Amino acid sequence: MLLLDYFPIFIMASLAMAFAGGTVLASFWVGPRQDKSEKLDTYECGMPPIGTPHERFNVKFFLVAMVFVIFDIEIVFLFLWAVIFRRLGWFGLAEMGIFLMILVFALLYVWEKGVLEWASKAK
């Protein structure tokens, strides 16, 4: 009964899928095909492709991304805390102090390991 109410949506969805699928299939069957090597090549703005797309990224991208996520989440907590800062009182301040202290240790670690320096001294 409840499902019947959704019947128009079902028709709509079926029509949409039939249209989308039908167009793709029609162009696949009806359209002319020329399987030449240039055509099957990677499309790169009309230029002949150079090298492989699987490039090795510098590991620093990932390190910075991870550090960013950690401190981003810290900000989320800080916002909530700041909104009710007065009502939480000294207890909240102390708790947040401990929380930030732990994160500062992490920051010190990251700093000392040289993650924050983009152009690293080659080791």
Q: Which positions touch other proteins (CB under 8 A)?
A: 84, 86-89, 91, 102, 105, 108-109, 112
| CA-CA-CA-CA torsion sign (22, 23, 25, 29) | positive
Min CB(39)–other proteins separation in Å: 36
Closest approach of other proteins to the CB of residue 91, in Å: 6
Q: CA 41: distance to chain centroid?
A: 28
Shortest distance, CB of residue 115 to other proteins, whole angstroms?
13
Asked if 47 and 41 touch (Cβ cutoff 8 Å), the reply is: no
Of the candidates 48, 64, 79, the residue with the CA atom closest to the CA atom of residue 116: 64
Structure tokens at 1: 């009964």
Q: Closer to other proteins at the Cβ: 33 or 56?
A: 56
Nearest CB to other proteins, comparing residues 29 and 57: 57
Give the residue with the Cβ less far from other proteins, 71 or 81.
81
Residue pair 50/101 in contact (Cβ under 8 Å)? The answer is no
Our CB check for other proteins shows the closer of 64 and 103 to be 103
